[in-house]
Structure 1
Amino acid sequence: MLYAKVNEQGAIIDVAPFQNEDFTVLVSPNDPHVAQLLASKLDQQSSQELLSSSDQEMMRILEDLIDLLTEKHLIQFTELPMAAQKKLLSRKFVRGIHSGNNDNLIGDIRDDDALI
């Protein structure tokens, strides 16, 4: 879904993938004016910026996929390389803190077993 920012005359002046006090009007990406705005925004951003912004979203998808595969017993978490296990546990721990769900997923961490 896309939300538009409109001027006093009701003309669309910008679009965003989120709704807030500025972007209030739900619009279709198929609308020619919206498509033109999207194309100009993509022209302004480098491909590297687009990749960087999607990397965070992709990482979350991979984390969720690994969680799903382990819950269904299709893979065992311990089959992953140790560095991957530590990074995933670290991210899960930090996400738990930010969401208020601190279940001590990692436990006590020794200095020689610090997370990557």
Structure 2
Amino acid sequence: MLYALRDQDGKITALTDRPIPDAQPANPSDPEVMAFLSLDGDNFAASDFLDESDLGTIRILEDLIDTLIDQQVIRFTDLPQAAQHKLLSRKVARSLASPDSMDAGESDYVRDNMFIQDDEQLF
């Protein structure tokens, strides 16, 4: 269920998946909800949106994992080996695609954690 908070004029100001004080049930396909989410309700296809947003979401997850590692909440080696290899491969690919955008700490991290074996596929 989706819930909407509205201002004095009845305009949606927030959406939540939980019933909180002053929130009213809202239909996800309601044009007001679609407008609040900046989605074109007439041409919106959920599956297309999910496909298009996957890349951005992946980058968010990579940044989240990096943050958890940096704050020592988890260790890189806590991740399954396949995940370690995939994350390192993506980090290397990003550094090759835009080497100027990586700070020194990131490039050191990539160099220090580069343990992909010769017989393993990088990409």
Give the TM-score taking structure 2 as reference length. 0.54
For residues 49-86 of structure 1, the C-alpha deviation after alignment (integer angstroms, 9 at most, x for no partner) is: 10011111110110001001101111000110111111
- Residue 57 of structure 1: aligned partner: 56
CA gap 1:57/1:97 in 2 versus in 1, 3 angstroms: same
Pairwise CA RMSD:
2.8
For residue 48 of structure 1, report the CA deviation from its aligned partner: 1.0
- Residue 43 of structure 1: aligned partner: 42
Percent identity for Structure 1 against Structure 2: 41
- Residue 120 of structure 2: aligned partner: 113
- Residue 100 of structure 1: aligned partner: 99
What count of residue pairs does the alignment treat as equivalent?
80
In structure 2, distance between residues paired with 1:87 and 1:43: 38
For residue 113 of structure 1, report the CA deviation from its aligned partner: 2.1
In structure 1, distance between residues paired with 2:89 and 2:55: 15
CA gap 1:55/1:108 in 2 versus in 1, 3 angstroms: closer
- Residue 69 of structure 1: aligned partner: 68
In structure 1, distance between residues paired with 2:51 and 2:57: 10
For residue 46 of structure 1, report the CA deviation from its aligned partner: 1.7
Give the TM-score taking structure 1 as reference length. 0.57
Unpaired segments ≥5 residues, structure 2: 1-31
The amino acid that maps onto 2:89 is: S
- Residue 22 of structure 1: aligned partner: none
SS of 1:93's equivalent?
Answer: helix
For residues 20-41 of structure 1, the C-alpha deviation after alignment (integer angstroms, 9 at most, x for no partner) is: xxxxxxxxxxxx9xx4xx55x3
The amino acid that maps onto 1:62 is: L
Runs of 4+ in 1 over 6 A off after TM superposition: none
Unpaired segments ≥5 residues, structure 1: 1-31
For residue 42 of structure 1, report the CA deviation from its aligned partner: 3.7
SS of 1:49's equivalent?
Answer: helix
